[in-house]
Amino acid sequence: MNANRYLRDRLAATRNQVCDPSCVVESRLALLADLLDGWSPNGPDQFAYDMLAALGWLQRTDLRLLTKLDPDGLAAAGRAYAGAHGKELAERALAVPDPQAWLDEAKDLRASYEDLMEPVERAELAHRLINELDDAELVLLEAMRLGMQDELLESVLERCRAWLCDNADAFLAAGVFVQATGLGLRADLDTVDPDLGRTAEKFAHILDALEDMESALEPDRLGPLSP
Scored b (16 or more CB within 10 A) or e, 22-46 reads eebbeebbebbbebeeeebeeeebe
Residues whose CB is less than 8 angstroms from the CB of residue 127 and which lie 6 or more positions away in sequence, other chains included: 173, 174, 177
Would you say residue 219 lies in a domain?
no
Domain contains 6: no
Taking residues 35-52, report their average pLDDT.
96
Q: What is d(CA 95, CA 173) in angstroms, rounded to the nearest whole number?
A: 30
Residue 124 confidence (pLDDT) above 70: yes
Under a CB-based contact definition with an 8 Å cutoff, are residues 25 and 66 in contact? yes
* Distance, CA of 190 to CA of 201 (rounded, Å): 9
**pLDDT value for 211:** 97
Give the per-residue pLDDT at 224: 45
Q: Is 4 domain-assigned?
A: no
For 76, the domain range is: 21-213
Task: State residue 116's pLDDT score.
Answer: 79
Q: Is residue 16 part of a domain?
A: no
185, β-bridge pairs: 61
Dihedral sign for Cα atoms in the order 201, 206, 211, 216: positive
What distance in Å separates the CA atoms of residue 131 and residue 199, rounded to the nearest whole number? 11
Tell me the per-residue pLDDT of 3-12, one tens digit each, with 9 for 90 and over: 799 999 999 9
**Mean pLDDT of the region 107-116:** 91
Tell me which residue of 89, 11, 99, 26 sits closest to 57, measured CA to CA: 26
At residue 28, φ and ψ (nearest 5 deg) are -70, -40
Which band of pLDDT confidence, cut at 50, 70 and 90, is reported for residue 217? Answer: confident
Digit-coded pLDDT (tens) for 147-187: 999 999 999 999 999 999 999 999 999 999 999 999 999 99
pLDDT at 225 over 90: no
- With respect to residue 218, please indicate whether it lies within any of the assigned structural domains: no
Inside any domain, residue 8 = no
- Is 97 within a domain? yes
Decide if 222 is inside a domain: no
Residue 220 has a pLDDT of 53
Count of the separate structural domains present in the chain: 1
Burial class of 145 by CB neighbour count within 10 A (0 to 12, 13 to 18, 19+): middle
pTM: 0.93
